[in-house]
Structure 1
Amino acid sequence: MRGNDYRVLQPPERFTPELRVSVIIPAYGAQDKLDLVLQGLARQTYPAALTEIIVVDNGTSPPLRLPGGTAARLVVCDKPGRACARNAGLAEATGDVIFWLDSDVVLTPGATEAHMRWHHTAAYLSVTSYIRFTEAPLPEVLPDDLEAAFEPAAPHAWLVGLVERTDGLTTNSPRPFSLHVGGATSVNAGLVQAAGPMDDDLILGQDTEMGFRLYQAGAVFIPEPRARAYHLGPTMRMRKQKSIDRVSHAFVADRIPAYQWLRTHPTREWKVPNVTAVVDGTAGYEAVRTSVDALLASTVVDLSVVVVGPWDALDRDRRAPLNDPNLDLVLVHGHYEHESRVRLATAEEVDPRVPFVLRLPAGWAPGEDSVAVLLDLARVEGLGLIEVALDEPAGDAVTARLERVSSFARARLVARAGEPLDDAVEAVAGVQRVDGDKHAFTREPGELLGRRSAYKARIQAKAEAARLAKESERLRAQVTRWRDEAARWRKSTVELRREVGTLRRELYAAQKAQRGMRATLSVTVKRALGKRLRG
């Protein structure tokens, strides 16, 4: 499966259910809505023996209760917050698939089955229902005909718009994880374990943040129109969208690097950087400094550097520092120990939430805009790996590598036994090889002028490109005008030729008539003269 194009899976219409699903319902108050939700779950066509229902009471007073005869079990979570409640339910879940369901969302009878038919085809999916929002009066007992009871209802406009813009998320959508909404979404339990539980430090935006971590772990996101559901009443977001966005954006910007449009500050650092560069700290002080200093001068400020070396083995008793066999390591450690964007690690440790990892051989320096250009290329083409050819010595070629973490995670999930990981990345995302010289990688870096100069140059280049595009458009318009003018002249020429031809024919006719008249006059004159002479 390439990118998020799940169409290759083609789940069968009929399948033998084998996977267990754990439905986790965080709830606070609204007992009447919860009762209807549980009634909807009791009518699901997916086998009840493979369905586990966990209701998490998030501090309701008086406590929530489960209706008699329900197959659900009740868990109490005193720590406030929906994320905490979901994590409490997750800790109790035993299913192969985790199904997040809000306590005011009623599933239509075939919804769970529609989700599970996908999960039986692959073990790295996240499936989301189509939710409609109803303001119909709540019935005491869920009727058989949900459409008659809850329609007219409004569609989830944001979800429908996202799906339509991206051909069902199958095109190169930059943020397919946005589909992970907690109202009615199922996720493979193994993916949840790899990504980790909900972030309960967030006030809002927990669903999207977890969706991003699932994406980083290799998830594919699927909107399933057959899995229909009714939301009983409007959501808080529908009532207070601007206020919710204001709060959510303040926190998720630090945690979701894919939201670059929220990271507009030109110099600040973020909790999770967009790219982390890895450099071998044992390659010598000058070589390490060449690479790290060039990276820190990059126009990409949203960047961190991990320098790997045996830092815990350094001798702290430096009575003869110039004779220290680890002097270069000491210099590297001392030079970057207090640089906030550099981490000195004894092993390669990259935050799994970081979207891109740049592996740079020590001694090579990217140009100030090189990383930005590679990131743009990866984003536009949806590439999982860009290899930068740096040198070709007698042995193996020296390369730098820009790796998309989510693509490598997916490749690990689908790679066949013995298949090189890069080949699997080629299959799921694509690999491109570029020339280091053309991307300003060098062993002899010039003076570090700072980000502002390169940024200014980049802006000027964009402005020049815009100017040339505008000039090209002007010239194309001019050519069009010339072609129209030429066409008018051609038409005029044809019409003029026709007029000249007509005049020539009329002149010829007049000349012919004149010659006839002359001939007639001549004969008449001759006859008249002859008569006079004879008389």
Structure 2
Amino acid sequence: MSQSSTQPLVRRNEWRSLTPPDLGRWTPTKSVSVVIPTWSAQATLPCVLAGLAAQTYPAHLLEVVVVDDGNPTPVVLPEVRPENTRLVRVTAGWGRANACHTGALASEGDVIAWLDADMLAFREHLEAQLRWHHEVDYAVVLGTKRFVDPAILGERPTTAVRDAVASGEIATAWDWDAEETHKWVEGMWRRTDDLTLAGPRAFRAHVGATGSLNRALYTASGGMATELRLGEDMELGHRLSEAGGVLIPEHASRAWHLGRTHVMEHRDQINRYNDAFLANLVPTMRPKRNRRGRRYDVPYLEVVVDARGALAQDVIGVVDSLLDSSLDDLRVVVLGDWTLTDARQSPLGDPHIEQRIVHRTYARDQRVELRAEAPAARRSPWRLSLDGVSVAPREDAIEALLDDLERHHDGAAVIEGVGRVERTAAVSRVRRVHGTLTDEGLDAAYGLVRLAGGEAGWVPVAEREVARYEGKMKPPVERPDPDPDPEPRSRLFGRRR
């Protein structure tokens, strides 16, 4: 992770605090690798490469990696292309995410730029994006586009396409203001002042066929989810946010999208397909998740409870209270020494009886993880770290707190006598810029609030009751005589079916 005291710390997604250089009036130093995944794109790929051959970004800093995703007819590079263009063939897996990741691993540039094989870029396309990466190393920049009918290119040779891009003529080949926009994305830009007001939800707009990011940020995020066949951009956007990224829509980075997208033609079917995957992997897309009853791969909240040296009843009281929260989408990590043996000994004389009781209570609970240390990598958008096990949350305390932090786009809350809850994106941003995590950094990055434990809904653990099933012995209740009404009724509850 980059640790630089000279980089500016962008608050939330308010990227306008940055001052990138003007186009054409600066000296680039970073190399960029443009990764182009291809599948049945033989009709448009030559135009895409011709456009890249005419970019204003220095040619000696430009690398193009074309990824053949197992095309029925193997891809052959056309003659008109950037000088440093390579062809990589996928040898394992398939799909756009897998092809993009394959190309990223094979590339060498400081910055990775994605460009689909049907995107004809204007001459300043790359320069407009790359100037941000010279300002901060956690920028994620999206270009903009218009969807056009490629038939207007006719039989124009690729040399002519390259020259039209170089001269700027390609910008008037179609009417930019009249052609179809990416309505959902640009609508979000418009409603949030180009994402500056979107805060932590800005990365829901990380979709499209053109964008760029620092290689180190891509690595820190874990890269493309290669098992996904659709929705990979939005899933990656979530993890880029968690890694501390700031999302910047760059209107000067323009391109023509040669034809409409698969998503535009089959939106409802694709959304239906994506929902199952995105709900499981992207906890910030909360409307896609059930409030209760489901378990997801990536929970919304991770709670760390230190059970070392504590009495079992106190640990159980706190953990049970957490699991009893109105916020069901959480996972609890209980820290302790769980290397317990099964050697013969008196159960009540066991020197590790407190740990053993806690272990036996939660070892097979799907929402509890027993570990020796807290996970180094934060796996959820929020982490709550408790100072001890003397107090427990009321049923609605955690949900109310996180809803308040989300409403204000805050990054952390310090709760006196309880612990602290931190937004993963804020923690990553501060560490990326300053190298160390401080309350001052969190406050500057996203905002930090301080609360008293009682104000936040926490009470002494002995006062927090978790409801249990009633188990008292009762005399049997006689069933009523059969209902003479011939219409079927529920045998158990006396209700009509």
Q: Alignment identity in percent?
A: 38
Taking the TM superposition and a 5 Å limit, the aligned residue runs for 1:10-21 are 10-13=19-22, 14-21=25-32
Which residue of structure 2 aligns with residue 148 of structure 1?
A: 172
Distance in 1, Cα, partners of 2:248 & 2:432: 18
- Counterparts in 2 of 1:385 and 1:265: CA distance versus 1, 3 Å: closer
Closer/same/farther in 2, CA of residues 351 and 253 from structure 1, 3 Å limit: farther
- State the one-letter code of the partner of 1:403: E
1:22 to 24, 33, 39: 33
CA spacing shift, 1:90–1:318, aligned 2, 3 Å: farther
Cα deviation for residue 156 of structure 1 reads 1.7
- Residue 62 in structure 1 maps to residue 73 in structure 2: yes
Deviation at 1:15, TM superposition (A): 2.0
CA distance in 2, matches of 1:131, 1:30: 18
1:28–1:209 distance in 2 versus 1, CA, 3 Å:
same
- Structure 1 letter corresponding to 2:432: L
Residue 7 in structure 1 maps to residue 16 in structure 2:
yes
CA contact (8 A) 1:105 1:183 kept: yes
Task: Name the structure 1 match of 2:429.
Answer: 410
- Match of 1:68, SS state, is coil
Secondary structure class of the residue paired with 1:19: coil
Structure 1 residue 367: Cα displacement: 0.4
- Separation (CA, whole Å) in 2 of partners of 1:289 and 1:265: 24
- Please say if residues 427 and 437 of structure 2, whose CA atoms lie closer than 8 Å, have aligned partners that are also in contact: no
Q: Which residue of 1 aligns with 2:99?
A: 85
Q: Is residue 167 from structure 1 mapped to residue 167 from structure 2 by the alignment?
A: no
**1:75 is the counterpart of 2:101:** no
Deviations 1:165-199 (CA, angstroms, capped at 9, x unpaired) = 00111114442112322400001111100001211
Alignment partners' CA distance in 2, 1:94 and 1:32: 27
Task: Please list every run of 5 or more consecutive structure 1 residues that lacks an aligned counterpart in the other structure.
Answer: 391-398, 452-535
Q: Quote the offset at 1:330 in angstroms.
A: 1.1
2:466 to 448, 452, 457: 448
Q: Which residue of 1 aligns with 2:384?
A: 358
Does structure 2 conserve the Cα–Cα contact (< 8 Å) formed by 1:384 and 1:429?
A: yes
1:150 Cα deviation from its structure 2 partner:
3.3
Pick aligned residue for 1:190 from 192, 216, 222 = 216
The reply on whether 1:378 has 2:405 as its aligned counterpart is yes
> Which position in structure 2 is the counterpart of 1:97?
111
> What does residue 293 of structure 1 align with?
320
Distance of 1:364 and 1:32 partners within structure 2? 65
Any conservation in 1 of the 2:284–2:381 contact (CA below 8 Å)? yes
CA spacing shift, 1:420–1:301, aligned 2, 3 Å: closer
User: Conserved in 1, the CA contact under 8 Å of 2:384 and 2:420?
Assistant: yes
Whether 2:167 is the aligned partner of 1:117: answer no
Q: Quick one: which amino acid aligns to residue 207 of structure 1?
A: D
* Rounded Cα–Cα distance in structure 1 between residues aligned with 2:291 and 2:431: 35
1:85, 1:420 → 2: CA distance?
36
Q: Counterparts of 1:352 and 1:22 in 2: how far apart (Å)? A: 29
CA–CA distance in 2 between the matches of 1:333 and 1:318? 18
CA contact (8 A) 2:120 2:255 kept: yes
Instruction: Tell which deviates more after alignment, 6-15 or 124-133.
Output: 6-15
Structure 2 equivalent of residue 530 of structure 1: none
How far apart, in 1, do the equivalents of 2:203 and 2:270 lie? 19
Range moving further from structure 2, 405-414 or 165-174: 165-174
Q: Counterpart of 1:506?
A: none
In terms of fraction of residues, the more helix-rich structure is: 1
1:325 alignment partner in structure 2: 351
In the alignment, which residue of structure 1 is the partner of 2:482?
none
- Asked if 1:436 is matched to 2:453, the reply is yes
Rounded to whole Å, the distance in 2 between the matches of 1:196 and 1:387 is 29
2:184 matched to which residue of 1?
Answer: 158
Alpha-carbon separation, structure 1, partners of 2:302 and 2:437: 23
Q: What SS is found at the alignment partner of 1:231?
A: strand
Provide the residue aligned with 2:441 in structure 1.
424
SS at match of 1:214: helix
Q: Give the Cα separation in 2 of the matches to 1:133 and 1:420.
A: 44
Match of 1:38 among 49, 57, 69: 49
- Give the drift of 1:408: 0.3
> Which protein shows a greater Rg?
1
Judge conservation of contact 1:4–1:220 (CA < 8 Å) in 2: yes
Q: Tell whether 2:311 aligns with 1:284.
A: yes
Task: For 1:407, give the aligned amino acid.
Answer: A
Moved over 6 A (4+): none
- CA 1:236–1:286 in structure 2 vs 1: closer, same or farther (change >3 Å)? same
- What amino acid is aligned across from residue 225 of structure 1 in structure 2? H
Q: Post-superposition shift, 1:64?
A: 0.9
Paired residue total: 440
